[in-house]
Amino acid sequence: MTQVLATKNIDKHFHKPKDFHVLKNISIGVNKGEFVSIMGKSGSGKSTLLYILSTMDTDYTGKLYLNDELVTGKSQQELSRIRNKNIGFVFQFHYLLSEFSVIENVMLPAKKLADKSHAEIEHDANEKLRMLHIGHLAKQRASRISGGEKQRVAIARALINNPTILMGDEPTGNLDSHNSENVFSIFKQLKEEEGLSLLVVTHDIDFAKRTDRIIQMEDGKII
């Protein structure tokens, strides 16, 4: 199996107010097309780990590989590009820019990457919105749509650069059961039809049970 993401012996300390060993010797891998969830009580280190895996936090020891390439030790500029190109991110809160239209929100990461023309980016954004059954909302202002729709727009935005892995930090944490189910179905479809790898931190045991594998964390370790 091709691994899209792997870590070797990741350790992390918080140094303030006093030394706290938050992640201890974490070695994990995610295969291409695999849907993995990370579970654990609050404070077990799940979100800290996710921020390291997403290359946003570089203050750790150990090694992080994305698509077999060592990304540990690269400059912030390189990491920003690697992240934008390879990793889609969906948070508990959608972080949409409310004064922008839906399609403008979806286009943002692709404009930042600047690999395609404006017309191509707009075309891709429309495709992603259609795939998530919200094509009709493209021109709406982001502030005018429902919570469930906002989370779909956030997923479309995370997919705009055709990442190799989609990461989620409690992506259903703010949604009712109907919309949570929708998000799960979308993720499953992305895995099955697009071969996308997914790594999701969740508190929702019903959600986690239906993923391919659960990584269980406790006190900064994988158990």
pLDDT at 107: 93
Residues 6+ apart with CB under 8 A from 115: 85, 161
Q: Is the pLDDT of residue 6 over 90?
A: yes
Quote the tokens at residue 62.
């150990």
Residue 154 tokens read as 């956030």
pLDDT grade for 73, boundaries at 50, 70 and 90: very high
Instruction: Band the pLDDT of 179: cuts 50, 70, 90.
Output: confident
CB 217 within 8 A of CB 42: no
Instruction: Give me Rg for the CA atoms of the chain.
Output: 17
pLDDT in tens, 120-158: 999 999 999 998 889 999 999 998 998 888 888 998 999
Virtual torsion, Cα 133, 102, 199, 193, nearest 10 deg: 30
CB 152, CB 182: distance < 8 Å? yes
CB 114: neighbour CB atoms within 10 A?
10
Spacing of C-alpha 190 from chain mean position: 13
Q: Which long-range contacts (CB under 8 A, 24 or more apart) does 135-144 make?
A: 137/102, 138/101, 138/102, 138/103, 139/101, 139/102, 139/103, 140/101, 140/102, 141/98, 141/99, 141/100, 141/101, 141/102, 142/96, 142/97, 142/98, 142/99, 142/100, 142/101, 142/102, 142/105, 143/98, 143/99
Tokens for 98, please give them: 């409310």
pLDDT bracket for residue 90 (50, 70, 90): confident
Residue 32 DSSP SS3: coil
